[in-house]
Amino acid sequence: MTKKLTRPPFAEQRPHSYERHGYVVNDPWHWLKDERYPVVEDEDVLAYLKAENQWFEQNMTDRKPLTQSLFQEMKARIKEDDSSVPQKDGDWLYWSKFEEGMQYRQHWRKAVSGGEDQLMLDEDVLADGKEYFRLGAASVSPDGRLLAYSYDDNGSERFEARIKDLSSGEQLPDVIPGTLSRLVWSADSKMLLYGLANEQWRTDNARLHVLGTDIGDDVELYHEDDEGFRVGIGLTQSEKYIVISTGDHETSEVRLVPTDNPLAEPILVSARKVGREYEVEEHDGMLYILTNDEHVNFRLATAPVTDPDNWSTLIAGSDEFYLTDVCTFKDFYVTEGRENGLDQIEIRSYADPAKVERIAFPEASYSAGLSDNPEYDVAKLRLSYDSMVTPDTVFDYHLSDQLLETLKVQEIPSGYDASQYVTERLMIEVRDGTMVPVSLVYRKESKVDGSAPLHLYSYGAYGYAVPPSFSTTRLSLVDRGFVYAIAHIRGGDDLGRNWYLDGKLTKRTNTFNDFVDVARGLIAKGYTSEGRITASGGSAGGELMGAIVNSDPELWGAIVAHVPFVDVLNTMQDESLPLTPGEWPEWGNPITDKTAFEYIRSYSPYDNVTAQAYPPMLITGGLNDPRVTYWEPAKWTARLRATKSDDNILLLKTNMGAGHGGKSGRWNALEETAEEFAFILWQMGMAE
């Protein structure tokens, strides 16, 4: 029996320092990085992580009833035997479903002409006996006979690809370990394209496997020599071309390979130019190219496949409309984007560029987009829709009469009445005069007099816009009187591409300041008060949590930081890590650039922990996480314990058999959310 800890674990300090750009950086918890990573077997490292996990369990023991209660109410909002809306692709209808009580999905199909339902893949069977399971890519061959799929069973994001004969149910002998890409079929269903992860967990290649041949004989169709670039594999909507793309966070390059002849010389659309991004669709021999070469909010250009670098503007870039995607169908094409931060979907005519049909949605604030539309020749579009108060909704949009048909609304078995909730969209002025959008949801009876607790969430990086979408788990806070707020801060691209650019590189601290100023603005407007705000974020959003507790610790009643990217200065100097070279356009390269070094050093959460009072904090990590390595949250926790001046609770939980996304399986993941909310309610004095 493990002896109960009487005080929190303290990781010893071991002298370690380095010099760069005239600065000496001391890192006494450097030893928590096992130098044999991704193998982690250093006994001292494991002992510390296990001790922190024990401390977490001990402190959460009295919260077990609350955690279980939260889990049960969250689970009661989920339809256990749920199924997706079937979608036609060729001769088949495809859908997925959960069986009652099961953790993972089953994937089904049925012939359009009729017949019995066919179970293609059962994730619960694949996950049996495994602590972790995640299905990666899945693709049915054009002839409908084979299913290529990949899975990760430890959270390391190294996927093993396999091929199943759907007519017999047998597994083919072809097994491809270490993939990190989509799986794309050739037109004749005899070849499969994929990308392998190299030793640094980077996909620098596109490879071709001929079924029935040795994996060692696979042909490398493309190899990327720039360590900062990643290779991706896709398919045009017309399925005429395989798309081999490569790029980092600011530059891209695309090659096309005919699906009926993958060994043909790839067509280079346009050679890379630093700072120019583009992506490509195809229709009837014409390329449709989404690019930021002339306008920060992107334009849409066309070029013949026979002259792919000769671009002509079809839709010019706009200050008001942020063009984010294009999808070409047989008789029309669709553009997606945002205007005033709200999603827009527009149907466009090939014959008449001036003819634009914008789909109208029923609410003033919402999240909407194209959903699963696998076919090229269609008369209706599958759309997804939700809002802060409207559950996930699946629409078909009929082009002939411009009508939305509701196919499915997320069912909440325990009951949900949208009329009992209020959603708002505010604009809050931050310190440099910028107006930042905030999405709110709370119960009608909640008072806006400063007395309510408020939970503030954001991400703020990589141009990812956090949508004002629906969440069943969030109701467990809102129904207990919380105002739930999403801060659409810079670093995301909520208000256009400049919104993203204003939160990266030398403008990174705008992201942190926006979050703090939104919190203060919500206090000023009476939604909450100082110390009554809880906040959470993960990955780069965890970095955000680290920055705001360093700068303004008094604001927060409790903080939850999931897999937090907090050791920014050290990580951005470690070229051996999976993501580092590709991240320099996002954060700067502190190895070669003194200015970048100084700027990152000024905000890196781990490097800026000071002897002050910090709020109660729950920090999580994953031992197998290749994105934010386990030692980042571990080192941060160790430095906080040794430095902070308060007695507030500080907990670190490391998933020893998972990666960046935490535990797998819908119930296991829900249990972790219940733990998070139990921690928040405990610290806010609302645990009863």
Q: Which residues are catalytic?
A: 539, 625, 660
**Per DSSP, what are the bridge partners of residue 242?**
235, 257
For residues 21 and 191, what is the distance between their CA atoms, to the nearest angstrom?
51
The strand order across the sheet containing 219-223 reads 184-185, 191-194, 205-210, 219-223
| CA dist list (Å): 153 to 1, 50, 135, 137, 313 | 29, 21, 9, 14, 46
How many other C-beta atoms are found inside a 10 Å radius of the C-beta of residue 552?
18
Backbone angles phi, psi at 681, to 5 degrees: -65, -40
How many other C-beta atoms are found inside a 10 Å radius of the C-beta of residue 46?
15
> Cβ(604)–Cβ(571) under 8 Å?
no
| CA dist list (Å): 341 to 5, 67, 455, 488 | 49, 36, 22, 9
> Cβ(124)–Cβ(106) under 8 Å?
yes
Reading the block at residue 564, the tokens are 């937090």
Element (H, E) at 676: helix 666-683
How many other C-beta atoms are found inside a 10 Å radius of the C-beta of residue 491?
31
> Cβ(532)–Cβ(453) under 8 Å?
yes
For residues 277 and 296, what is the distance between their CA atoms, to the nearest angstrom?
10
Cis peptide before 262 (omega within 30 of 0): no
Whose tokens are 């005033």? That residue is: 340
| CA dist list (Å): 152 to 31, 371, 470, 564 | 28, 25, 28, 22
Quick one: 4 exposed, middle or buried, by C-beta within 10 A (0-12, 13-18, 19+)? Answer: exposed
For residues 261 and 258, what is the distance between their CA atoms, to the nearest angstrom?
5
For residues 350 and 352, what is the distance between their CA atoms, to the nearest angstrom?
6
Q: What's the angle, vertex CA 565, arms to CA 559 and CA 567, rounded to 5?
A: 110
> What is the distance of C-alpha 345 from the center of its chain?
22
How many other C-beta atoms are found inside a 10 Å radius of the C-beta of residue 333?
20
> Cβ(445)–Cβ(463) under 8 Å?
no
Reading the block at residue 349, the tokens are 């005519």
Reading the block at residue 137, the tokens are 């890519």
> Cβ(345)–Cβ(383) under 8 Å?
yes
For residues 126 and 134, what is the distance between their CA atoms, to the nearest angstrom?
10
Give CA torsion, residues 534, 538, 541, 542, to 10 deg: 80
How many other C-beta atoms are found inside a 10 Å radius of the C-beta of residue 125?
10
Reading the block at residue 258, the tokens are 């005919």
Reading the block at residue 542, the tokens are 């965890």
Length of the chain, in residues:
688
**Per DSSP, what are the bridge partners of residue 143?**
none
Sequence letter at residue 330: K
